[in-house]
C-alpha cells in the first residue's frame, strides 16, 4: 500500500511539524531549559493545547508545559508525559524527515552523501516491509525520541472528545530530559496532581518499560603542579598522567560496549585537561541498587587511593545521583497504572514486550517522587542516530493506546 490512511496522514503531518521545530538540549548550559529552541517548541504546544480545548494550560519559567483535560465522569486522574528536547550528538539540529514506503532492501538516506540504512546492518527493518517509514536524511537524528511521544499525546488530546466518560487527564511536556532529566525535576505537582502517569518515550511497537537503570554522574577533578621542563624533575605533577592512571584502574569490560541486559557499567565519557588541571566525567549505571552503590563507592576509593599516592595533587570525587530505577518505586498500592497499561494493550491486540531499559526516563524521577510512571512504546528504532526510523503504523498504534488509556477503555 502506497498511501497513508487519514489518521496516519494526520499523525505524520503532526510529527513532521514537530521534528522540523528545532529543540536540541545543551549539556554545557547551566539554565533550564538549556536552549532557546525548546521555548519555541513549548509555545507551539501551548497554542495547540489551547486550540484543542485543554484548560489550565501553563508554561512555567523552566519551560514545563502542563495542561488539564477535565473529566467527564468518574475515574482516576492520569498523567501523560513526554520531553521537548532532542539529543545533541554532534549532528545537525535541523531535521529533514523523509517518508519512504518500504519494500525491502536498503534505504537511501542521502544520495549526495552516499548514506544508507542497510538492511544487513539493521535486521529490524525486515518486520516493516510494505509499511510507510519515516527516517532521516543522514545529517541528523530523527527526533522520534521524543517527538513521536509528543505526537501521540497531542493527537489523542485532539481526538478525545466527550463521547466516553473519563477522569481528569493531565499533560506534561518537559525540557532537558536528554541531559539528566533536568526539566522534570522542576515540575509543579499542583499542576500535575495525578494518581499515576505514563511516559510515552519507548522504542519499538509493544515495548513496556518498568525497570530502568539507577544513574549517577561522577566528576573527578585533579589539580596538579605545573613546572617548566628545565626544573620539572621532582616538581611537576601532571594531572593528565594521573587521570590516565585513574582510568587504567577501571574495569575495561565493565563499559557500555561490553555489557548488555541487566549488566551495569562505568563509562568514562569526557576528559578535559591541561598542565594544571584535569577533569573526568563518568556515568554510573546499574539496575541493581546494591551494584549501583558499589560502583559509586569503588570510584570514591580509587580517587582516595590516587590522592594518597600523590599528596602534592588535589583530587576530588563528586558523585550526583541523576535518577533511580522505576521498579524500586512500585508497590501494590500504586501498581494500578501498570495493570491498566497491560490490560489495555491486550484489549488492543498489541503484543507486550517488557524490557529492562538500559537508560532512564522522566518516569524514573517521577516514580521516585511518588507518582508511579511506566513507559511505553512510540514505535521508533535506533534513537540518537542518523539511522533512527519510525514505522508510521507503529506510531498509529501508540496513538491508539494513548487514546484508549485516556478514555479508560
| Residues identified as active-site | 85, 177
Give the Å distances, CA to CA, from 369 to 146, 325, 326, 328, 330: 22, 12, 10, 11, 11
User: How are beta strands 353-356 and 207-211 bridged, if at all?
Assistant: parallel
* Distance, C-alpha 366 to centroid of its chain: 14
Output the nine-digit C-alpha cell for 199: 511516559
Contact call for residues 83 and 177 (beta carbons, < 8 A):
yes
3-state class (DSSP) for residue 262: coil
Give the Å distances, CA to CA, from 40 to 11, 237, 254, 304, 369: 20, 48, 40, 46, 29
Which residues does residue 83 pair with via DSSP β-bridges, in sequence order?
A: 174
Q: Identify the CA nearest to 209 among candidates 372, 331, 385, 84.
A: 372
Residues 304, 293: Cα–Cα separation, whole Å: 17
Q: What is the DSSP string of 135-188?
A: E--SSS---HHHHHHHHHHHHHHHH--SSS----EEEEEES-GGGTSTTGGG--
Neighbours of 156 (CB within 10 A): 25
Grid cell 509528543 is found at 150
Amino acid at each position: 500500500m502506497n498511501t497513508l490512511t487519514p489518521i496516519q496522514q494526520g499523525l505524520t503531518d503532526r510529527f513532521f511539524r514537530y521534528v522540523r521545530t528545532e529543540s536540541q538540549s545543551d549539556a554545557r548550559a547551566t539554565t533550564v531549559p538549556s536552549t532557546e529552541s525548546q521555548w519555541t517548541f513549548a509555545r507551539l504546544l501551548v497554542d495547540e493545547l489551547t486550540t484543542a480545548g485543554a484548560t489550565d494550560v501553563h508554561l512555567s519559567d523552566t519551560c514545563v508545559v502542563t495542561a488539564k483535560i477535565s473529566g467527564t465522569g468518574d475515574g482516576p486522574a492520569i498523567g501523560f508525559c513526554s520531553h521537548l528536547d532532542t539529543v545533541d550528538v554532534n549532528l545537525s539540529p535541523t531535521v529533514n524527515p523523509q517518508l519512504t514506503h518500504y519494500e525491502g532492501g536498503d534505504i537511501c538516506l542521502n544520495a549526495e552523501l552516499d548514506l544508507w540504512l542497510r538492511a544487513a546492518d539493521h535486521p529490524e527493518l525486515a518486520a516493516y516491509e510494505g509499511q510507510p517509514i519515516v527516517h532521516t536524511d543522514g545529517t541528523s537524528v530523527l527526533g522520534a525520541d521524543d517527538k513521536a511521544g509528543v505526537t501521540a499525546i497531542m493527537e489523542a488530546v485532539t481526538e478525545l472528545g466527550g463521547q466516553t466518560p473519563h477522569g481528569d487527564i493531565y499533560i506534561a511536556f518537559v525540557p532537558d530530559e536528554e541531559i539528566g532529566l533536568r526539566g522534570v525535576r522542576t515540575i509543579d505537582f499542583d499542576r500535575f496532581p495525578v494518581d499515576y502517569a505514563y511516559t510515552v518515550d519507548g522504542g519499538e511497537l509493544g515495548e513496556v518499560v518498568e525497570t530502568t537503570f539507577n544513574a549517577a554522574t561522577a566528576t573527578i577533578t585533579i589539580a596538579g603542579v605545573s613546572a617548566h621542563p628545565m626544573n620539572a624533575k621532582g616538581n611537576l605533577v601532571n594531572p593528565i598522567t594521573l587521570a590516565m592512571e585513574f582510568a587504567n584502574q577501571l574495569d575495561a569490560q565493565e563499559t557500555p560496549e561490553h555489557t548488555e541486559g541487566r549488566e551495569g557499567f562505568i563509562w568514562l565519557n569526557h576528559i578535559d585537561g591541561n598542565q594544571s588541571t584535569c577533569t573526568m566525567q563518568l556515568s554510573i549505571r546499574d539496575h541493581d541498587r546494591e551494584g549501583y552503590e558499589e560502583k559509586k563507592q569503588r570510584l570514591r576509593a580509587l580517587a582516595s587511593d590516587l590522592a594518597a599516592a600523590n599528596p602534592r595533587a588535589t583530587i576530588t570525587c563528586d558523585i550526583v545521583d541523576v535518577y533511580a530505577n522505576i521498579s524500586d518505586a512500585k508497590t501494590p498500592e500504586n501498581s494500578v497504572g501498570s495493570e491498566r497499561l497491560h490490560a489495555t494493550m491486550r484489549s488492543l491486540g498489541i503484543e507486550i514486550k517488557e524490557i529492562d531499559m538500559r537508560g532512564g526516563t522522566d518516569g524514573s524521577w517521577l516514580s521516585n517522587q511518588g507518582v508511579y510512571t511506566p513507559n511505553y512504546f512510540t514505535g521508533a528504532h535506533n534513537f540518537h542516530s542518523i539511522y533512527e526510523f519510525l514505522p508510521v503504523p507503529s506510531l498509529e498504534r501508540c496513538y491508539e493506546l494513548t487514546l484508549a488509556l485516556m478514555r479508560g477503555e
